[in-house]
Structures are given as C-alpha cells and as structure tokens.
C-alpha cells in the first residue's frame, strides 16, 4: 500500500492564480480531510469528506473548494491564491466508524508546501 499520497510536494504561486492539490489513498478509507499547518497554530481543518459525494466545511474553508467523486481521491482547489494561503497542507484519511464509535487514527500524507507570492 502506498498509503496517503500528495502532489506536488512544493508549489509557488502568484497571487490570483488557481491550482489543485492532489490527494489519494489506497486503503479504502471512507473519511478524508484536508488540514493546513501554520507556525504556532497546530493543524486546522479546511474541508472533510465522509464518503464519495459527501463533503463539508471545517474550521477554515474560505478560499478552498473540494470534491469527492471517488473513494480514493480528494483534491483541494485554491480558487484565487492569496499570500495568506502560504502554508503546509496535509491530507489525511481514516476508517469511518460512524456515529457509534470513535475515530481510528488518521493517516497523514507527506504534505505540500505552498508559497503564494
């Protein structure tokens, strides 16, 4: 298993440009999520998905779109990049135990370091 993969590893954008960060997992996990990590702020949830066709907003969703057309893929789109979106982005996945159980460990991808000039 490759686990959770993310591409690209690094990206530099100019303000106003758009791009898509790719995330894929081969563990048949129902739950996938995107986080951003900024110095001194831990990880903050951007968007998450509990299964194909179902997405919802996290703590900091503004400026980002997601879709989940397959179980394996969960791309994150930056619509019009801003310097405030300079960050390290992590994708994560886990089994979805449903409302009756607690979440199992989340498996994180290697991250994408994004710089917006």
Partner 1 sequence: EDKVVQSPLSLVVHEGDTVTLNCSYEVTNFRSLLWYKQEKKAPTFLFMLTSSGIEKKSGRLSSILDKKELFSILNITATQTGDSAVYLCAVEGWAGGTSYGKLTFGQGTILTVHP
Burial per residue of 80-92, b for 16 or more beta-carbon CB atoms within 10 angstroms, e otherwise = ebeeebbbebbbb
Q: Using the rule CB under 8 A, is 103 a contact of partner 1?
A: yes
Q: Using the rule CB under 8 A, is 40 a contact of partner 1?
A: yes
Q: Around Cβ 59, how many Cβ atoms within 10 Å? A: 11
Q: Which two tokens stand for residue 53?
A: 């066709």
Q: How far is the C-alpha of 89 from the C-alpha of 43, rounded, in Å?
A: 9
Q: Using the rule CB under 8 A, is 8 a contact of partner 1?
A: no
Q: Using the rule CB under 8 A, is 31 a contact of partner 1?
A: yes
Q: How far is the CB of 7 from partner 1 (least distance, A)?
A: 14
Contact residues for partner 1, defined by CB under 8 A: 31, 33, 35, 40-45, 48, 50, 54, 56, 58-59, 90, 94, 96-99, 102-111
């Amino acid at each position: 298993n490759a686990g959770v993969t993310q591409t690209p590893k690094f990206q530099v954008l100019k303000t106003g440009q758009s791009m898509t960060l790719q995330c894929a997992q081969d563990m048949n996990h129902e739950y996938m999520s995107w986080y951003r990590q900024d110095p001194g702020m831990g990880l903050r949830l951007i968007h998450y998905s509990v299964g194909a066709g179902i997405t919802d907003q996290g703590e900091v969703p503004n400026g980002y779109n997601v879709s989940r057309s397959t179980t394996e893929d969960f791309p994150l789109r930056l619509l019009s990049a801003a310097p405030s979106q300079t960050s390290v982005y992590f994708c994560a996945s886990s089994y979805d135990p449903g409302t009756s159980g607690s979440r199992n460990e989340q498996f994180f991808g290697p991250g994408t370091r994004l710089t917006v000039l």
